Amino acid sequence: MTQFAFGYAFALFTALIVIIGDFAIKTAADAGHTITSTYVVLGVALYGVSALFWFYAIQHVTLAQAGVAYSMLTLIALAILGAVWFGETLYTREYAGLACALLSMILMSRIT
């Protein structure tokens, strides 16, 4: 596996961990739980674990590449999760933002 592939794989894994953490925190918020609830603590712990994988991601690709990959993956996954699981509505501006995220990922990728 190339440096490029390792970097993006770690960025993807980081995003997945954060998405699970976000899901836990959103679930707690919608249920009216306190900040000390199990769901919130789990979400915060997952954020901490994601920092470890982020460290490995930025060892293999530039910070800009990792940042765009992470942001794009997180944006798309959270938009889908919000719409499908939490019943949130996506408007034209959200679709435009998601398209911009994909475009930025393409523009920032430097395969070496």
Query: What average pLDDT does the structure give for the chain?
Result: 89
Domain count, the chain: 1
User: In the structure, what pLDDT confidence band is assigned to residue 111 with cuts at 50, 70 and 90?
Assistant: low
What pLDDT, on the 0 to 100 scale, is given for residue 110?
A: 61
Looking at per-residue confidence, does 1 or 27 come out higher? 27
CA–CA dist 87, 106 (Å, integer): 29
Structural domain range at position 104: 3-108
- Residue 29 pLDDT > 90: yes
What pLDDT, on the 0 to 100 scale, is given for residue 1?
A: 63
pLDDT tens digits for range 39-83: 999 999 999 999 999 999 999 988 888 888 888 888 888 899 999
Rama region for 32: left / alpha / beta (φ>0; ψ in -120 to 50; rest): left
Which tokens belong to 40?
Answer: 């919130």
